[in-house]
Chain A
Amino acid sequence: MLKVEINGQQFEAEPGSTIIEVADNAGIYIPRFCYHEKLSVAANCRMCLVEVERAPKPLPACATPVTDGMVVQTLSDIAKQAQADTMEFLLINHPLDCPICDQGGECPLQDQAMGFGGSSSVFEEVKRSVDNVDIGPLITTEMTRCIHCTRCVRFGEEVAGVMELGAIGRGEDMKISTFLGTSMDSEVSGNVIDLCPVGALTSKPYRFTARTWELNGHKGISPHDCLGSNLEIQEIGGVVKRVLPRDNEAVNECWLSDRDRYSYESVNSSDRLTMPLVRRGENYQEIEWAEALDLVSSKLMQIKETWSGKEIGAIASPTASLEEFFLLQKILRALGSSNVDHRLRQQDFRDDLAAPVCPGTDVSISKLQELDGVLIVGSNIRKELPLISLRLRRVAQQGGEIAVLNPMSFDHNFATTQEMIVKPSMMAIAFASIARKIAMATGKEDLLPIDLVELATRHEFGINVDAIANSLIRNGTDALILLGQIGMNHPDASTLRQITSWLGVNCGIRIAILPDANGVAGWVAGCVPHRLPGGHSNSSPGLNCKKMIDQRLKAYVLYGVEVSNDYSDPVALDTALNEAEFVVSFSTFRSAVPEQADVVLPLAAFTEIDAGYINCEGVAQFANAAVNPMGQSRPGWKILRVLGNFLKLAGFDHVSSKDIIAELEEVYDLSAPISVRYKPDLQAINHVVTQSAEVKNGKQLDRIIDVPVYSVDPTVRRATALQSTKDADTVALLACAEELEELGFKHGGQIAVRSETGEVMLPVQPDERVPRGAVYVPAGLSETSVLGSLSVVMVQAME
């Protein structure tokens, strides 16, 4: 430890730390623009100049390492003069247009000009001005305000992994721009808004809609992925104006994905449901809550009495809150049905009974970047979990090895050491081969289930397999296997989960079995047919969502589910709803309600509810309602609670959402660490799925099913700015050139994709990331919903 004196006080400092770090730790503020603790040191703004004893000139605190016995003055005349002079230089070309700048009120330049600058300038010449570039629908530029700190440039290059902004030109002509005015397309681009210390980069949807000092902030949690980013939801007068990150090193650090930052837009849309609706003939009529709930309860009771409670099924969006999951299953179970599920896109449920209490990770999120080896199985991780991808990027930057087993070669924002790309139907076989190699190398071969060995030997993949296996078990390697959404929703998902878990149990590899959105809470709350709340076993298991739909029940409760997008097989769901006697739809948006709904109950949006979320690490986090529900919409837990009363069920007298959590905590300790290992289940290892498309015409190919980043849930799908990004605009079939040639595809044509349930014509983009024998057809979109959920399709080129 070194001894350093700052402003007359003594501090201890690690060798190698800089003056600004020591000062920050000690709570001594040194002004800065370019320095940011998550970015490299550029030392180009010079705002942090301080006086250091025996140094001939003031030194930049952000770039000066401390030495033993160093004496620093941050408030001496020399330091203050240096800072004031720097400020004067910085303001030479700055437009000083604070009154019309969105950054005003939360602007480091404004604040530091007040705190450390002079009151006038000797500069009387003409200021430069810079043309703005349009960098897409999310970020507005006002480049004349830029002070060239290069935080935004460094963020792209160092953190996001795609350098989209750069400093072009030099000297007085230097400006920050994308390459020739292209858009910023990164899934974490919005962070440059927070980083920019001036108003050069601001939020486009928020632009000119509020002044920062008028905003009230509330704690939110993002419902869109299983990370549960901490949000600062800001509103004025009950209208959400924007969403910012809340720092939480253990979850999102100081970042947000664009999906979390901009999804709030849909909450204010005119598509919101503001009254309960009932169907009268062809049309819907607005009715009072009491009437609506009375209708729902009497209908459900009638079905229970005429047939049985088992004729009622509830399927919930995985974005629902812990409280909602809990009350929903409670109602269903009180009605005598365990038909309740939230795993809307899952297709393979063979391993349900072998499952742990909930899926998740057995390494904490904050330790992800310390891993030495990672194998990603079935995930476009960068779009699925943008902030986890940023942590994995650090693994690669620090020399760790990241290998990938995927049905197509997605663009990662980190370097991969091995990529094994196999068509979807080969995923389980390929994974089994890797597992076998790992078992052999760790001397665990004898423990391998025979079915797994059989699976592994069906195909010879070559040295790739050895290289991947090696990267995970090299001496002293702290390695992780991460199973993502493509894996979880694969027809052989049980096999993939079993293999993952087997490796976790037997070969000392950490595992992450990642659910969709708030899925961990869904499991914990008992919103699965085979388990009670807290993961307790259920003696009379119900139907999983696939069976509920295939078996055509009499009544369906759709909880936040949009038929053509959220369920893996929209056609089957649609048919089931057609045949059902009663359908009640809980929905936030009018356009998300299926036409079969008999009663529609308006759900409050995620910004309007007190809600619990459990992230993939098993950490429960709670959001506060930022604003009141729009119109007559109500928080889901309140609707469910009152519905319980209308049904005259016992135990529905919760006064606040906390009471619901307390009830859950009687059977489950929310603070306990989770285990994510599956019990061995031989049946689930059997690779049983050989699907075939039962239609003629065309060539049978595997379909790569993945949900695009901005199509994951009804809220995101209605966020207008996100929907204008590049990531949202491709509804196309992707296939490699060789495959297209074999299909006889001619440039400019379309391709017909058929399944037994329907046919779509899609535009085509040749894409070498897709392997032979497969096509990528996005899911989660109404355009492709007629294809159902089979992972094989018939494909034919059309004129």
Chain B
Amino acid sequence: MEIDYQLSDDVREKIEAEANKYPSRRAAVKSALRYAQQEHGWVSEGVVNAVAELLSLQSIQVFEVATFYDMFYTKPVGRHRIRVCTNVSCMLRGSTDVLNHLKEKLGVEVGETTADGKVALFEAECLGACGGAPMLICNNRYVENLTPEGVDQLLSELD
């Protein structure tokens, strides 16, 4: 397990800028983890330690936040993260089919990453886009009014 991780200067700078916005450095944990994850792909033990050190916190304080939000990944994940909303509106509009289609296409279960490390599949709770149900979020992009074809289209666009 990697314990030491070096945040890049760029990320450190961004985190500093965030930290300066608040009266306490602890308040910047979430933004710090976001930048660090963008760079590293996931929140490893090393990332937690590095963020903790930068913000003068104990590692567990950072880890609490990293495990609270499910868009922080404390295990390695695929380059692309697809999160299918399975909450009520989406469910009524067929999210189960969408999810099953994805599982079959990718050959993974929910929470898993494809063998080539390309795509990770997750379920999500309501993402506030019920008007476009069923929907998913791929990395940072909302994809709405899903059909099996739409899903295939999306997958083919991923590099």
B interface residues with partner A (beta carbon < 8 Å): 45, 48, 58-61, 63-64, 67-68
Contact = CB atoms under 8 A, between A and B. Distances in A.
14 contacts: A163-B58, A163-B60, A165-B60, A166-B60, A166-B63, A166-B64, A167-B64, A168-B60, A168-B64, A168-B67, A168-B68, A177-B60, A179-B59, A180-B45
A169 B67 contact: yes
A179 B63 contact: yes
Contacts of A167: 64
Interface string A507-540: 0000000000000000000000000000000000
A interface, size bucket: 10 to 19
A642 B136 CA distance: 87
A166 B60 CA distance: 6
Interface in A147-199: 157, 162-170, 177-180
A165 B58 CA distance: 10
A435 to B, nearest CB: 32
A163 B62 CA distance: 11
Tell me whether chain A's interface is mostly helix, strand or loop, or mixed.
mixed
A259 B118 CA distance: 52
A164 B64 CA distance: 11
A162 B45 contact: no
A615 to B, nearest CB: 32
A500 to B, nearest CB: 32
Nearest to B52: A179
B68 A169 contact: yes
Contacts of A166: 60-61, 63-64
Contacts of A177: 60
A179 B48 contact: yes
A170 B67 contact: yes
B58 A164 contact: yes
Contacts of A168: 60, 63-64, 67-68
Contact of A164 (B45, B60, B67): B60
B60 A170 contact: no
A178 B60 contact: yes
| Residue from the set B48, B59, B63, B64 with the largest chain A CB neighbour count within 10 Å | B64
Nearest to A167: B64
A168 B67 CA distance: 6
Tell me whether chain B's interface is mostly helix, strand or loop, or mixed.
helix
A201 to B, nearest CB: 15
Given A170-B68, A180-B45, A163 B61 contact: yes
Contacts of B48: 179
B78 to A, nearest CB: 22
A178 B64 CA distance: 10
A179 B58 CA distance: 9
Nearest to B66: A168
Given A162-B58, A170-B67, 18 more contacts: A163-B58, A163-B60, A163-B61, A164-B60, A165-B60, A166-B60, A166-B61, A168-B60, A168-B63, A168-B64, A168-B68, A170-B68, A177-B60, A179-B48, A179-B58, A179-B63, A180-B45, A180-B63
B60 A179 contact: yes
| Residue from the set A157, A163, A178 with the largest chain B CB neighbour count within 10 Å | A163
Nearest to A164: B60
Contacts of B68: 168-170
A722 to B, nearest CB: 23
A652 B143 CA distance: 94
A167 B62 CA distance: 11
| Residue from the set B45, B48, B58 with the largest chain A CB neighbour count within 10 Å | B58
Contacts of A164: 58, 60
Interface string A772-788: 00000000000000000
Contacts of A178: 60
A162 B48 CA distance: 16
Give the 8 A-B residue pairs with the shortest CB-CB distance, closest first.
Answer: A166-B60, A179-B60, A168-B67, A179-B59, A166-B64, A163-B58, A170-B68, A169-B67
A180 B43 CA distance: 13
B2 to A, nearest CB: 12
A178 B59 CA distance: 9
A569 to B, nearest CB: 40
A348 to B, nearest CB: 39
A167 B63 CA distance: 9
Interface string A20-61: 000000000000000000000000000000000000000000
Contacts of A163: 58, 60-61
A448 B5 CA distance: 53
B123 to A, nearest CB: 14
A170 B61 CA distance: 14
Contacts of B59: 179
Contacts of B58: 162-164, 179
Nearest to A168: B67
B50 to A, nearest CB: 13
A157 B48 CA distance: 18
B70 to A, nearest CB: 8
A711 to B, nearest CB: 27
A381 B92 CA distance: 63
A547 B68 CA distance: 63
A423 B69 CA distance: 47
Nearest to A415: B56
Nearest to A175: B67
Interface string A255-271: 00000000000000000
Nearest to A173: B67
Contacts of B64: 166-168
Contacts of A179: 48, 58-60, 63
A165 B61 CA distance: 9
Nearest to A161: B58
